[in-house]
Structure formats: C-alpha cells, structure tokens
Amino acid sequence: MQVEILIDDPTHAKNGLLRALQRTAAAAGFGEAFETPVYRGGSEVLVMWGAGRKDHFPAWQQQRKAGGRCIGFDPGYWGRSAPVGNARLHIDTMHPTPEQVWRTPSAHRLGQTFTLREDADPAGPIMIVGMGRKAALMRGERPGQWEREKYEALRIEFPDRRIEYRPKKVSQAAESLSDIPHAAEAPIEQGLVGCSLVVCASSNVSLDACVAGVPVRCDGGFAHVLYSGCEDPTPEQRLDLLNRSTWWNWHASEAAEIWAFAKTMM
C-alpha cells in the first residue's frame, strides 16, 4: 500500500499534521507515505488538507474515480481556533456519512467532554448560518443563493419571527444578502443564546447549537444524522452525537491514533 500526501503550500500551519501522518503511516499498516506538491495518483490513499478548495477538489475526485481512498482534514469541530489547533477528519466524502457516524464509538474520547446548555428561546430569532464562497461553488450555486432561498421560505413559514443571517465570516458576507438582517457579531456561543432555530447547510455551527440546545435544520454535515429526523432531540441524543464527533476531531500529536481510527472506517 502507498499513501500520497498532498502538501502544496510549504508555509501552511497544518503541514505539521500531514507530515506527522507521513511519519506514522507505515507503522499503522498503511505502507509507504510520500509528500508531493502536485497530485500524482496511483496510490491507494490520498491525504490532504482543504479538499473543498478549487485547486484540491479535482485531485480528490480523480482519486475516488480511480477507486482510491481519500482522507481529508479541515478546521476542527472543537478547539479549532488556534493556528495549530484541532482538525476534523473526513474519509472519502466531504463530511462523515450517516453510516460512518453510527459506526463511531458513542463514548467520548479522553479529554473531550461536553456540558449541555438550554439556551433556546422558542420566540427568539432564527439564525441562518451562511456558507462560504467555496462551498457555494461546490454546490453549483451563486454565493448567497442558498441563504436567500432559505430566508424566503422561512419568512413564509414563520411570518412573525425575526430571521437573521450570520455569515461564515464577516469578510465572506454575500453582497446579495445585504437587505437581510444580520446577526450581531459575537462568538457563536453568545450568538446562539435566545435563538429559536439554527438553519445551515453543513456548518459546524450545527454542533455548537447541539451543545446550546437550540433546534437545528441542516442539509448535511455531521449533525444531519440526528437532526434530519428531529429538530429538537433529547439531551441524551444530543450528548450521544457530540461524543461521537470527538472521534472525528484530532490534533497533530495524535497521528498514530488517527490512522488507527481511519482504518476502522475504511
């Protein structure tokens, strides 16, 4: 077996994670791992950071089309803010599939626990969490298109409810949505307080809302497996999902453990 590790930016903060995986691949039973600045193909496994980038996604698609496996990383579900913080793992798809989520251990990993809150207000505003430009283009949509469609549908469904748009990043706010009320700039934990519903495509905010006890509607992402059946699950169901998410949230120092877990999902 051979592992190709794509590192095309020598200054990227997450190269430490990718190179740690390179050093530990053989001992984990994945064979020789080599670093390359350009996708070569032909290896059984491709590893990269930021698979959704327009210059990375074609390599991901080619690898899958050829029958190879893909392991990707993006900013983590938890502890993602530090420059060399945690990363979220995904295998063969952009987000863990429902089947992968349910195969994940339901006991949290050591050191990652959750204190549930009940911050929702049934009469409070609805938060539409925007997606980034990259995600919109991957869906074949214009930036702001998905958010606009959700906003118009929610206005009909909840005519008396305030509906607010929270951009993925302030710098990425879609100009076409300037007429929609914007949520106040605040850390997400504060921004969720008093909301009645969070609506997102596949944002990590759905997991933040799970902790906060705010009902969720999401099209995809890790939380979709729970919220697709119920917008307001029980505390036990929420904690079960959050515990499972810890197995997809890793630090560079855990490279050997990442390989061991990935093997169970491949």
User: What is the tens place of the pLDDT at every residue in 41-73?
Assistant: 999 999 999 999 989 999 999 999 999 999 999
- Host H or E run for residue 72: strand 69-75
User: Is the separation of the CB atoms in 87 and 14 below 8 Å?
Assistant: yes
> Rounded to an integer, what distance in angstroms lies between the CA atom of residue 78 and that of residue 177?
29
Pair of tokens at residue 218: 């999401």
Report the amino acid identity of residue 83: P
Residue 197 in any domain: the answer is yes
**Is the confidence at residue 135, as pLDDT, over 90?**
no
**Is the confidence at residue 1, as pLDDT, over 90?**
yes
Task: Say what the pLDDT of residue 84 is.
Answer: 58
Percent of the chain clearing pLDDT 70 (strictly above): 98
Same domain for 152 and 227?
yes
**Res. 168 pLDDT band, cuts 50 70 90:** confident
Same domain for 60 and 156?
no
Same domain for 204 and 151?
yes
Report the predicted TM-score, pTM, of the whole model to 2 decimal places.
0.93
Position with higher pLDDT, 110 vs 58:
58
In terms of C-beta distances under 8 Å and separation of at least 24 residues, what long-range contacts does 177-180 make, across chains too?
177/130, 177/144, 177/147, 177/148, 177/151, 180/128, 180/147, 180/148, 180/151
Domain range enclosing 56: 2-97+247-264
Same domain for 189 and 203?
yes
**What CATH number does residue 166 fall under?**
3.40.50
Residue 225 in any domain: the answer is yes
**Is the confidence at residue 234, as pLDDT, over 70?**
yes
Q: Taking all residues of the chain, what is their mean pLDDT, rounded to a whole number?
A: 94
Same domain for 27 and 68?
yes
